[in-house]
Structures are given as structure tokens and as C-alpha cells.
A and B are shown apart, each in its own frame.
Chain A
Amino acid sequence: MFKRIIFTLLFIPTFFLTLKADSEEEKKIKAEIWGNTQAEFKITQIPKQWENESAVIIATRLDYSLTKSTTEKVYSHHRIKLLDKAAVKEFSELSFNEKYVNTNLFGKANSYSFVGVKIIKANGTEKEVDLSKAVKADDDSRKEMKFAVPDLEVGDIIDYFSAGKQIYKDVYPPDIYENFLFEGEYPVMKRVVQFRFTKGTTLESKVYNGAPDFIKTDEDKEMVYTLVDTMRNKSEDLLWTYDHRTAPELRYKKTSYFASSIEFSATSYVTGYDPNLSNIGFILDYFDANFKNETDPKKIVNELYYLLRNPLYLKAYFSIEPDHPMGADYDGDLFFRLINKVLIKRKIAHNVMLLPSAEVGPLNEHLNLSTCDAVIRVNTTPPMYLGRVAPFSMINEIPATLEGMEGVVGSIWPRKFPDNDQSKSVPKSTQDQNSTTTTMTVALNPEDNSKLNVNRNTVSKGHNKRTHQYLAVTNYDYLKAYDLPKYQAKSSSLMSSILKKYNEEKKKLEQRQAQDYNIRDTKLKEDIESSMEVKVSDYKNFKLKSLGMWEESPNIEYSDDFTIENVTKKAGPNYILELPKLIEAQTEIKDKQKKRDRDIYMKYARSFLNEINFTIPDGYSVDGLEALNKEVKNNTGGFISTAKIEGNTLKITSKKYYSGNYFPASDWPKMVEFLNAAVDFTKAKVLLKKK
């Protein structure tokens, strides 16, 4: 139902290679695929515009048929011209796995029978590769067999196929659906995909961003869907994009006469909660022991949410062991069912919402619910939004990709309450809500003026804080944060044994505290080094002031001290300081990235604020502040910085913000403007001049 559930129905690409040399059937298939090739599989030349590529896929074809509802046949055939040594290496050590056999070409089957490989040399001679020399692949490679393709050189064409057939007797044939992106690692001259179904089964498809669609033909007892795509460029690395929103794409799924729409599935989901299916005994025990007479819905919802995030109750409900609480992962929808049931029990009005991920687009563009997730809206004023629980998740901090997306809302529970909130989405968070503020006190190291001593305080909130939490919080800190008397209510023998185990874990984690803190300090030091592009020595005095996981202290806050090596440049009696570097390296736009025709998608709006207070040493003055005052603001975001002297302190402030999570491509130059201002700022220097 949810993103986190892996669809095992989708064909498992196990692979059986039959090495019986030239069986009759193999000969037949080879003749079928290589003998009656389409014109595109006879081509040997590539267009001029792609001569500088590493390889070009001359032709690729997938034929999938499911006839009589039980017989599945999958043939996939590829012809690739290798234009450099890198491509020769890539294709010379061929393994029978999805990468090569299914090279992103929709085609996957649950059983292959035959593989054929031939090489076409530059002079036109063809030679089939003897696959009997294949050897067993390593056990951890997820591949069955591998072989080194002989006599493969730059300029050769490798032409290979896999052909499989499977009959489903006692089980249903697999589901078929895919969000297929046409642009891959190499350009493609011609791609053909053909699905063939017995009537009664159909293929539904929709195309995006200029992709071609299937053409449907009626052939007696079968429906045939054929797609042809030609001269497709390879994919390009693009900053801030969701490929499924901007690149040529085909979404398709196999349906039957009885298939329902996505909206219908979503509605069924939100109305299909059966409160009777969940056991909320532990939760009620907790409330009985601690909040028996509590009536404030906000208080109850808060307690409920943080209770279900508690490593102790994860064990009770989700069988998740409490030993690595920060790595806990939550599947399925039990969490939402428990909340729903408790809220009904406590007579707190709420709705279940199902929201589509922004990465795929509006709900009606989704193939199924695997790319959607639930949120519970509690009808308080203002509403409280409860997203899927995660180790640091909080109320009203739902996954960023669901924010602002319009979904389906179920009827209010309990039924007797009025349902006044007509909104079908959760508001988008703002750059102020997702912000990180870093304040630094900086001074020249008195013993060695080439170094800077830094005291740093970091506060981060909203979606921004997650990175900091995983850097600065250890499993011990996390368990310790939950070490509260209210969570120690032993209401049942099961709960008692869980509690015992929990307390043991806590004790053990305490014993490895020194080790964990050492790892944390190393991580933080390395993070400073990579983000500021400096060398750090003497990292110390880390202090975690707030974990940022509770209602009363929702932000993470920590401080630390460190020394940065070699950031002062000696110029005669003076020093040049690269203080702006301390706001961390900024996103730089390369020349080839300056032009953009695809829209900009980011996860969320956000802001980064910095304050650097540099103590000017006695006997020195500061020059060059003009270059540190910058202001670029527009609808996409901005960068503002200031520098001034206050007593013996040079105070530098900066704010960079992204005002939204989506902008049309036409806004790109505006973004580049403020991104460049931030880059220019980090490269500015100040002069510490000897008086």
C-alpha cells in the first residue's frame, strides 16, 4: 500500500541459463530472433551527432505476450555499438543479471531460458559467442553466471538477446506496471516495445514530456500494443529535479475489465480502516497509568504520537528491537490504524488522508498507491497532521514530498463530529520553518596565527534538522531521551519483559557511550571538513543541547569547538582571512548547467542563517568589508550578507533561502543569480592589516 512496501508481485528476476548446446528449441529461438530481424537490427552505422558518445544503442526491442492468461513470453533483444574502451570494458564482462539482460528496458520476466550473444566486427563479419564458457558468478553478486566476451574491440557491435517463457498454472501471472523513463545511460536510435494480451486484458498508458505512446491494434483474439521511440538522447545530470516530472516518461499498467481507477483505490483505502483489527491494549494501559483524566485532544494526540515513536512500543507493536532506535524503519499502515482506533476511543475527531508523492505528480497520474502515503488530520484548531512515524518525526512535520499535494480525505471519525475542514492537502512548509542557524565565535589561534579557533552553535528546525540529528545524536542519547518514568508502566507480562529488555539495552548503550561519542565527534569533524573545505584539528567540547524531537523543544541544538588549519594567508605583516568560507561551500552552477529547460523541483523551501563574530586582534584593523555586503532577492529565494565592526569584533551575517519547492524553468536565471551571490560571498576575503 505504501512506498515502503516492496512489491514482490512484480516479477522476481531470477535467471536460469540453459547451457545445453544448441538444443532444438534454442535453435528455433535464435532463428526467430536473429534470423528474421527487423531492419533496425541490421544497421551498423550510427548518426554523426552521437559519434562522440561512449556507446550507442542502435536498436532495442522487447516483446511481451501473455496469452490464454497463463502463458507468458518475454523476448528482449539489444544491439549496441561500442565506441570507446570504457564501453568495451562495460560489455566485455557480461553477467546474466538485470543490468545487462534487462537494461532498463521494461522487460523483466520470471524465467529466462536462453541467452544469445554475437559480435559484429567493423568489417561486417559476425561471430556468435560460445556461452558454454560461462562461469558461476559470485554468490553475493545477485547474478547467476558471467562470462568474458572474447574478441571485443572498439567499433564492434554487440548484439544479444534473452528469451523466456513461463506458464502459470496455479498462480496468477504477475502484475505489470512501470513508470518508465526513456532517457538512459546511452542514446538510443530505435526502441520498440510490444505487449500482446488475450482480449480481456488491456494496457493502460499515459505519456509525459514528449514521450511516445503505445498504438493499439486489434488482432483477432489478441490486443497488441506497440510503442516506437526513435533517436532518444541519453539522460543528463540535472540539479534539483524529479525525473518523473520533467523527463520523457511512459506510465503503463496491465488492467482487466474489472480494474478500478486510482481515485477509487485511494478512496477505498481511506474508508477501509477497520478499527476492530488493531489491539490498542498497551496504549490504553499507558493512558490509564499516566493520563486517565486527560481530555485536551492536543495533549492526548501528542502523548499518543510520541508513545508510538518510543523504541519500547516499537517492540511491542512492530517487533522492532530497541538496540538501534535511530535506525528503526516502519512499514505498512499499522501505525495509522492504531492512531485511528485510539482517537475513536478517545472521541477525538480526525480524518485519514491519502496523499500522492510530489515526485510522481498529482494523484490521478499515479499508477497505484505504492507512490502515495497516509496522513492523519486531527480536527483541532489549527489541525494537527500526523505523518508516518520515524525516529525523529514530529507532529505537523509530515514527509516533504507529500506537502501541498492534493489527495483523498476519508470521512470524519467518530462519525458524530462535524466535518468542516474541506482541504484535501497538508500545507507546504516555509523557508522559515525549515531553517538552520549557525553562530560562530572565531579568533586567531594565539600560538599559531595560521589557524582559527572556532566556537560554533547550531540550531536547526523543520526538514533541515534531520541531517543534523543523524550527525549529532547517538542511539544512547535517543534511548536516554525516552528514559522517562511515564514510559515504565508495567501493565502486562509482555510489557514487563519488554521493559526489562529495554532497560538492559539502555545499560549496555551506556557502557559503549565513550565509543559512540568518539564516532560522533569524528563524523562531525569530517562533516565540517567536507562542507567548509578546510582541515580541522582539535575538535572538542561537543554539547547536545536539544535533540529536536519533542513538542516543547522542537529544534535540534548543539555546540562545539574546533580549530581550522591554514585558512589565514600571510601577506607581509598582514593576514588575509577567508572568513566567508565558514558558511560552508555553496552550490555552484557550472557553465553547462546555466541553461535549463526543465522545471525545478526541490524537496522543500529552506533557509540557512550564519553569524560569524571574529575577534580582531590587538594592533590590527580590518579591510575589505565592502565585498561582504550582498543582497540578491527574488521570488525564488535570496542571499543577503552584511559585515560590520562592533568594538573589536567583526560581525558577518548571511542568509540564504529558497522560497519554495517548485519553480518553472523560466525562473532558473533568477535562482542562479542568488546562488552565484552566495558563491561570490564565500570566495571574498578580508584583510587583517597591521596598524
Chain B
Amino acid sequence: MRYLLVFLGITAVSSILAQDNTKLATELQLKYKDSPVAILSAETNFEFSKDPNRPLIKVLVKETEKYLSLRFNSRITKSVLYDSNSEVEKFYGSSSLKGEISERTKYCGKYTSEGYFYDDSKFCSQSINLKELGEVWTINTVKSVNDSKYLPSCYFQDEYPTVSRKITFTFPSTIDIELKEFNFQGNSIIKSESTVGNNRVVSFTVSNLGPVQDVGYKPGIQHHAPHVLILVKSVKNGSSTQNLLASVDDLYAWYHSLVLKLNTNPEPFKATVASLIKDKKTDEDKIKSIFYWVQDNIRYIAYEDGIAGFKPDDAQNVYEKKYGDCKGMANLTKEMLKIAGFDARLTWIGTRQILYDYSIPSLAVDNHMICTVVLNDKKYFLDATEDNVSFGDYAERIQNRQVMIENGDKYILDKVPTFDKTRNLEQHSYTSKINSELLEGVGKFTLHGETKKDFVTHYTHTQNDKKQEYLEGYINDKKSDFKISDVKVGDMTERSGPLDIDYAFSIANSVSSFNNEMYVDMDPEKDFKNTVIKDDRLVDIDFGEKIYKKFHVELETPTGYTVATVPENLTVSEPDFSFSITYSKNGNKVIYNREISVEKGTITKANFPKWNDAIKKLSKAYENQLVLKKK
């Protein structure tokens, strides 16, 4: 499903004198070492008006940005994105050093948003030549949006640092617009409101905002970036009021109207459904059979062109093409289940990336579609885009997320169940002994939930001739002194229950002998070693899934040796995460247990110091050696 996002920049009533620009540029250059420019000032005006011909609100977005060059002889590209619902009306500018861009110098074309095969995204770009430090480029753009529904939010941050930015919304008093503020805390954003003639004018001014950080494991942008959600609710027409997206009812009504336009013809897949459920005795088995068939046989390929970004493809088309996007796959699942006699419904959902829920009437609330099947009054959520997830299990990205389930003219709001970290347990064990200076034995992985799903999905999508290499790399992390043999993988087609991977190993670099002593590195894996978070990171960490790893090693003490030193245990326990390492002795065996948990799969910024402190302790603990001494 399409996800709309508008980055803004704008105008500039700059009081900074030209001679101060070089000084400011030098200061900013040191503060933002990777940024070629800073936005000295930016002003965006959203002008809302009623479309005279259609029951829609149009928006004119006028933007003036002043870019301060922090580089010499560099180039940046300024792009304006648009789509089938919008147009770039104007795009021009000039620099303090007599540089110029105009309609003639712009180049426009099509691009595809990440994750899609095709959509209606287009761009117009200008190449901006930064000749001198302190040079100022003033760039003006005007973009028209045909329907305000597709312009759900406005963000204050840019890919470049911002010195000052003002965003103004101007709309006639006949249009009811709510501007919802998110993540304003910690940013000095000043709001002002006024009435000018018949218009309401709302402005937000922000200063000294860093750029959007390009870091890994980021939560969805809605979770951390300051922004305003634009809810165009209704418009007055004389004495009557016309609802646009006044409430979630209106949102559902629009979604439902698109669903009503579907022309389902189940004939092409009737025979397949019949053969899939033929030998199945229980309803659950029948549902599983259909759900798994869609998972396995329909490839995720997304065409999100115009209305296709919101309207599912007809089930028979998806069936025949053997590909579809989330909506198409959800719709095929639904229609196949209906043929089999089940109560199946389309279901809108915002994944873990999304901050909002269905208390907000906006297209930005959801970005995904699944199918809900009701069986014995219980709802089961079926997401066929997730390979290898079993019936009744839910991928991390949809757990605990609110859903809007179709129900004729009405809808049902519900929530996908959540599971705790044990769903994702990765259990790994060695039963080992020392042979000369080699650590030898058998190992076993037992993968659950997300860890199992990730492994099976990667494995099945790896080229046949590279599968063995992938498997070995999964086990030994591509360490050449970690030799593997006799690998046995459990039944990957069995979706329920854990997956076992058994193997034999011989590790060359874990035992060191000096004189009468042997030093043993009990944990060759060293998960999370040195994963310290950089000091300048501004956004929380989201691993995308809850993490729970257990590593268990049993080491047989070699004949003629006794245990001289057992390293100290380690326990770190915080609400968000915990690490523990314990050593114990049992007869002639030394037992090592290590557990790592990240309860919700996230580390909040406030917890970065605690995380770093814990990681340093963990990394140090990994270097502690078991000492065995000759008797």
C-alpha cells in the first residue's frame, strides 16, 4: 500500500547578511561534517482551496528555500517529487554568485519508490553547483496537489541541517482542517495562529534542526521525526457540510467503495481451492492449506500506480499472474477462503513502522493489507506476504497492531495478538571436547518464530548451488577456522514448531596451550560483541524484532587436566535488555550458558548509555578464558 510522505523545506526571510554567511558556513561545516549544504531558511506555504468542479480540496504548495553552501566546487541535486495526483508548476532559483536554475535546466523523469515494482512516482531535479563556501542559493518551487487526501503529513527535517524553517497552512474558514503535531518535544517549534480575511493561517517555526540521520535499525520515521499530520476533515457548502475524511468512518467508506469496484470471478481458482481442501478434515487444515498455497505460490510484486495504490487487484488476476502486492494477495486469500466456505475479510493495517492507529482518519494510518478469517468466533489474521509464517502465528511487524476489518458498510477494529520474546528464541548449543588444540563436537540450532522464518526464507531464496555455502555461513559466521560437517536441517516445509539444524564441528582457534596449561575460549560466537552505539546517534534502535538468544556449551575436561580457573559470571539486567553469562561445573564437564534478550526489540535513546556500558562488559567477558591445568 502506498505510503505518502512529504519533506518540506522553505522560505526564507533571512536577516543574515552576506558577509556573515561565510562565518556561519564555517561553523556549520564543523558541526555537520557530512552535509554539503545547510538550509539557511525555508518557508513552505500550503494553500488549501475547494476544487470548483469536484468535491475535493486542492492544495498549492509554494516553497522557497535558501541553501547555504558548506563546500567548494561541489554539486548537490535538488529534487521535487510528484505523482499522478500532483504537478510541479514552477522550479527555479539563483545564487548569490550569479548561478541560475530555471525551467530550462530542470530534468524530470520517473522513478520507483523502494519496495515496489512500479508506481506513479516522478521527479523533477536541478543540479545545484556549489562554487564557494558561504554561497547562498535561493530555490523556489510550486507544486499543485489535486486532492488533499493524498497529502497526509508534513515533516520539518530534511536530508540537510536546517537553520530555520517556517511552515504555514492557509485555508478558508469553510474548510475544517486539523493539524496534529507529532514528536515536537525536544525541538523548539513555535506555533502561531491568526485569521487573515476569510482564511485561517497556522504557522510553525523551527530552528536549528539536524539532518535526518542515515543510520541502520531505525524505527519508522513517524516514530521519531517532528511532523504535522494534515487532516482535511470537511468543507462547508453554504449551510451544508460535506465530510471528506472527517472520521475513520469516512476513511473506511472510501476504502470500501474501492472494494465494491472489484469484479471478482472465482472460476479460475475454484478447481485449485477444491484440490487444496479435498483431503483436509478440519476447517483449520483447510484454511492452512489455502493460506500456505498463497504464501508459496504468489510472488510479492507491487504495481502501485495511482488508485492501484489503494484498490486491490482482482483475485483472479493475482491467481493467474501468480504475483501481486499485499492487497492483491490478501484479496486472493480472502476469495479462495470464501469459495471454501469461510468467513474471510479484507483487513487494513499499519505495520510496526507506523505510529498512528485508527483514531485518526488519514491514509497515513495504514500501509499494508492482510486477510482476516473468522473461525468459531475467533479471528485469525493471514498475511500471505510473509513467507513461512504458520497459521495462528504473526510476523513481528504486524503483532500488536490495530486492524480495520471489512464488515459490509461498517468495519471492525481489532488488534493482532502479540507474543513475547520466547516466540523468537534462537537456541544454540555445543557438546564439545578438546582434541589436541581443536575444539570438537556437535552443535545444534533450534530456531523459533522470526529467527526460523528469516532462516527458511533466506535459504529458500538462495541459489541452489550456493545453498550449502549459505547454510555453513549461517552456522559458523563464515569463520574459516570453524569447520563444519554432517549438517542436517529439519523439515523446512513444516511451518509450525521450531526448526532444528544439527551439525558436527571442529574449531581451530578456541584452544591455546602453553606449557602445562590450556586456555579455552568457550564462546566462539560472541554475539553483540563491540556493538556499541555511536555517540552522535539521535534516533532509537529498532532491531525489527524481539531478540532472545540462548547459547549453551558443554565441554568435557580432557583426561589428565583439571579446571584451574573459571571466568567470572556476568549479569546485566535492564528493563529493555539483559545479558548473562554463567559458568558451572558438572562432573568432568564445564557448562557455559549465555543469554541475550532485547525484550521489545528496541533500545530507546535514553538507554544508549546503559546499553553501551553493558556491551563493553559483555565484550570484555567474551575475552575471558577457561584455564585447564595438567594434573
Contact = CB atoms under 8 A, between A and B. Distances in A.
Contacts of A255: none
Contacts of A86: 461-464
Contact of B72 (A153, A509, A571, A683): A509
A512 to B, nearest CB: 6
A519 B509 CA distance: 35
Contact of A570 (B30, B323, B512, B623): B623
Interface in B48-79: 71-73
A505 B72 CA distance: 8
A570 B26 contact: no
A526 to B, nearest CB: 13
Given A151-B320, A450-B623, A623-B515, A683 B297 contact: no
Q: Is the interface of A mostly helix, strand, loop or mixed?
A: mixed
Contacts of A92: 299, 301, 323
Interface string A44-74: 0000000011100000000000000000000
B132 interface: yes
Interface in A179-196: none
Interface stretch (A138-146, A349-357, A361-369): A138-146
Given A53-B465, A140-B111, A148-B323, A572 B564 contact: yes
Contacts of B322: 150-153
B508 interface: yes
Contacts of A151: 320-322
B543 interface: no
A590 B484 CA distance: 13
B321 A588 contact: no
Given A151-B321, A683-B481, A683-B508, A571 B461 contact: no
A535 B623 CA distance: 14
A569 B624 contact: yes
A535 B530 contact: yes
Contact of A565 (B73, B564, B619): B619
Contacts of A535: 530
A623 B514 contact: yes
B624 A84 contact: no
A566 B618 CA distance: 11
Interface residues of A, number: 54
A511 interface: yes
A603 B509 CA distance: 32
A450 B567 CA distance: 15
A88 B299 contact: yes
A135 B521 CA distance: 57
Contacts of A323: 72-73
A288 interface: no
Contacts of B297: 153
Given A150-B320, A512-B29, A623-B514, A566 B623 contact: yes
A556 interface: no
Contact of B109 (A138, A321, A514): A138
A52 B467 CA distance: 10
A138 B110 contact: yes
A566 B530 contact: yes
B133 A571 contact: no
Interface string B616-631: 0001101111010000
B565 A89 contact: no
Contact of B464 (A52, A321, A623): A52
Contacts of A140: 109, 111
B33 interface: yes
B463 A87 contact: yes
B26 A511 contact: yes
A418 interface: no
Interface string A443-463: 000000010000000000000
Contacts of A687: 512, 514, 519
A93 B464 contact: no
Contacts of B481: 683
Contacts of B462: 84, 86
A509 B132 CA distance: 11
B217 interface: no
A568 B460 CA distance: 40
B323 A512 contact: no
A688 to B, nearest CB: 10
B111 A572 contact: no
Given A88-B299, A148-B117, A687-B514, A571 B463 contact: no
Given A139-B109, A139-B110, A566 B461 contact: no
Contacts of A514: 29-30
Contacts of A505: 72-73
A193 B86 CA distance: 50
A687 to B, nearest CB: 4
B118 interface: yes
Nearest to A585: B480
Interface string A147-168: 0101111000000000000000
B519 A511 contact: no
B584 interface: no
B529 interface: yes
Query: B73, B112, B301, B465 — which one has the most chain A CB atoms within 10 A of its CB?
Result: B465
Contacts of B112: 138
A206 to B, nearest CB: 31
A404 to B, nearest CB: 34
A576 B508 contact: no
B153 to A, nearest CB: 25
A93 B117 CA distance: 8
Contacts of A624: 512, 514
A415 interface: no
A689 to B, nearest CB: 8
Contacts of B73: 321, 323-324, 505, 508
Nearest to A83: B464
A88 B323 CA distance: 12
Query: A450, A512, A685 — which one has the most chain B CB atoms within 10 A of its CB?
Result: A512
Query: A54, A518, A572 — which one has the most chain B CB atoms within 10 A of its CB?
Result: A572
Contacts of B464: 52-54, 83-84, 86
B465 A54 contact: yes
Contacts of B461: 85-86, 89
Given A54-B465, A138-B111, A590 B133 contact: no
A512 B72 contact: yes
A93 B565 contact: no
Interface in A486-522: 505, 508-509, 511-512, 514-515, 518-519
B619 A566 contact: yes
A511 B133 contact: yes
A571 B620 contact: no
A21 B435 CA distance: 71
A617 to B, nearest CB: 17
A136 interface: yes
B133 A512 contact: yes
A569 B519 contact: yes
A535 B528 CA distance: 13
Nearest to A569: B623
A321 B466 CA distance: 47
Nearest to B521: A569
Interface string B561-596: 000110100000000000000000000000000000
Contacts of B515: 623
A151 B319 CA distance: 8
A140 B509 CA distance: 47
Contacts of B460: 85
Query: A87, A570, A689 — which one has the most chain B CB atoms within 10 A of its CB?
Result: A570
B109 A570 contact: no
A505 B133 CA distance: 12
Contacts of A571: 517, 519, 565, 624-625, 627
27 contacts: A53-B464, A53-B465, A54-B463, A86-B464, A87-B463, A89-B461, A92-B299, A92-B301, A93-B117, A93-B301, A140-B111, A148-B323, A150-B323, A151-B321, A153-B322, A321-B73, A512-B72, A515-B30, A518-B33, A566-B530, A566-B619, A566-B620, A569-B624, A570-B567, A572-B564, A623-B515, A683-B509
Closest 3 CB pairs of A and B: A139-B109, A54-B463, A150-B321
